[in-house]
Structure 1
Amino acid sequence: MIDYEEQETAEDSDELYEHHRIVVDKGQALLRVDKFLMDRLPNVTRNKLQSAIRSESVQVNEKPVKVSYKVKPLDVITITLAEPPRDTDIVPENIPLNILYEDNELLLVNKAAGMVVHPAYNNWTGTLVNALTYHLQNLPTTRNGEGRPGLIHRIDKDTSGLLVIAKTEYSMAYLAKQFYDHSIERTYYALVWGVPKQDAGTIVGHVGRSPKDRKVMTVYPEGDYGKHAVTHYKVLRKFKYVSLVQCNLETGRTHQIRAHMKYIGHPLFSDATYGGDKILQGVPNGTYKSFVENAFKIMPRQALHAKSLGFIHPETKEFLQFNSNLPEDFRSVLEKWELYEE
């Protein structure tokens, strides 16, 4: 049964997943949408359906509706959630993985940008989980055998970098507890527009979905909506119009770094979702415009890399720290900015 009241996504996920698509029959009489769905979806309470409708997880003809909306013949009703469908069969696929470390309890994968972590609507194949189920057998799962095999956290499709995968139920629980306690050390490198006023700082602000676009996260500084989020940052290098910033996550909310950096006025370079795919610093014309557009072509995704992970090993109880190199597109764009002269 889908729990429409528990829609917290895993770490750094930017996907929304279609769970149901219902086309109303031609002869359907006018009926409130919640009552209509109760008839169609077994084991879902009316309260949960109403909660999903109010949160805009239920849409009719690609638009949110009120609970009082009455369905009409040929209406197309979709239910879309931040969690993938829990009854999805995972098809094993022989996809090469960049495994940095592996033992009997866990493995570390350096995910390439562009790879979706979990199968979902429009991305049923070619994902990290498809690859993992081929290379490994009997991966543990979350939520009583349902959910994401071996995954304790996620990173966005177009974010590169490190993910830890549990190979046993014990490791799954042990590592998940460290994420829950915020004791996992997570370091990201981000290229952002502009130069922050302070060389180091902490961003505190609830992060929640935008009321205008549920694929975008917004910072709510008063904490009236969203979930508590804390990002520590440090400027590593300053270029003419951009900066390389190290971000350490204290919490792990969806799009946390991307939303927090935009909130303080420094969207990630080439991040289309948060406005970083436009020239935000410098005069957007002439050779400079050509230079930036070429950099966008080299790195047509948000400039964000999950560089390191530190945690206590479930079996040895030793603290382990893993690091990864920046991918080629990230390195190339940094080199361009380093050599840029107006």
Structure 2
Amino acid sequence: MSKVLSNKYNLQVLHEDNHIIIVNKRAGDIVQGDKTGDKPLSDVVKEYIKDKYNKPGNVYLGTVHRLDRPTTGLVIFAKTSKVLPRLNKLFLSKDIKKTYWALVKNQPPKQEDTLINWLKKNPKNNKSTAYSKEVIDSKKAILHYKLIKKLDSYFLLEVNLETGRHHQIRAQLSNIGCPIKGDLKYGFDRSNKDASISLHAKHIDFIHPVKKENISIDAPLPDDALWNACL
């Protein structure tokens, strides 16, 4: 059951126990601090933990993975230094299954498909280019998509990643002529009003690294007319 906290944090906690905390990231939040100097989501979560449990001193929080700033959805943090390497290992071994939803304007070439590309990141413009063959400094990228709903002007795709490359979903979908709604960097023609892109980390499934219980969580979609039409 999702829980929306007070406006003090504007934080939606989807799961919390002694070891991990999973939140539903809003568009515009950065997961970790960067050169912008904007307050990262990790700091907000630390403040929430410190306040909720009345903890003295510094609060430990380990960042396990990231979502791009304009993307929404599930983000996992480690609450202890003991569990962080275990979560990292689950990601590396692909034992954490993540499912994304993406809204695109153009219909994909196939109802469902596996995309295999080699992605090369350009740090100057923070953009990845998808190639059909390996090039220097490129990394292999694999994702699976399927078309799950046709809306009036958009198509809803479900995406599952085999690899976790820089801007992978954005670059690979753009490469087949399906840039994500609002994603100017990867070829969409106009931005979303809130500067988001219509990519949402919707579902996560894994075995808890300490409790050994199955954790299966859905992140509520952003509350706007287009996402609401997907339900």
Q: Same fold (TM over 0.5)?
A: yes
Alpha-carbon offset, residue 117 of structure 1: 1.2
Aligned counterparts of 1:335 and 1:161: Cα–Cα separation in 2:
15
Q: Are 1:151 and 2:63 an aligned pair?
A: yes
Q: Are 1:261 and 2:180 an aligned pair?
A: no
Aligned counterparts of 2:101 and 2:205: Cα–Cα separation in 1:
15
TM-score between both structures, scaled by the size of structure 1: 0.59
- 1:14-41 superposed Cα distances (whole Å, 9 cap, x missing partner): xxxxxxxxxxxxxxxxxxxxxxxxxxxx
Say if 1:203 and 1:252 are closer, same or farther in 2 by CA, change over 3 A: same
Give the match for residue 12 of structure 2: 98
Say if 1:337 and 1:136 are closer, same or farther in 2 by CA, change over 3 A: closer
Alpha-carbon offset, residue 218 of structure 1: 0.7
Between structure 1 and structure 2, the one with the greater Rg is: 1
Alpha-carbon offset, residue 130 of structure 1: 1.4
Say if 1:263 and 1:119 are closer, same or farther in 2 by CA, change over 3 A: same
Asked whether the equivalents of residues 272 and 301 of structure 1 are also in contact (C-alpha less than 8 Å), the reply is no
Say if 1:105 and 1:334 are closer, same or farther in 2 by CA, change over 3 A: closer
Q: List gaps (5 residues or longer) in structure 1.
A: 1-93, 141-148, 279-292
Q: List gaps (5 residues or longer) in structure 2.
A: 1-7, 51-57
Q: Percent identity?
A: 35
Alpha-carbon offset, residue 261 of structure 1: 0.2
Say if 1:240 and 1:210 are closer, same or farther in 2 by CA, change over 3 A: farther
1:118 to 6, 13, 32: 32
Alpha-carbon offset, residue 157 of structure 1: 1.1
TM-score between both structures, scaled by the size of structure 2: 0.85
Relative contact order, CA 8 A, sep 6+: which one is greater?
Answer: 2
Secondary structure of 2:171's counterpart equals helix
Alpha-carbon offset, residue 335 of structure 1: 5.8
The number of residue pairs the alignment matches comes to 216
1:136 to 49, 58, 63: 49
Give the match for residue 154 of structure 2: 242
RMSD: 2.2
Given residue 161 of structure 1, which amino acid in structure 2 is its aligned partner?
G
Alpha-carbon offset, residue 97 of structure 1: 1.8
1:208 to 120, 140, 163: 120
Asked whether the equivalents of residues 27 and 195 of structure 2 are also in contact (C-alpha less than 8 Å), the reply is no
- 1:181-229 superposed Cα distances (whole Å, 9 cap, x missing partner): 1221101110012111211111111222138x53111112212232121
Report which of the two has the higher share of helix: 1
1:220 to 114, 131, 140: 131
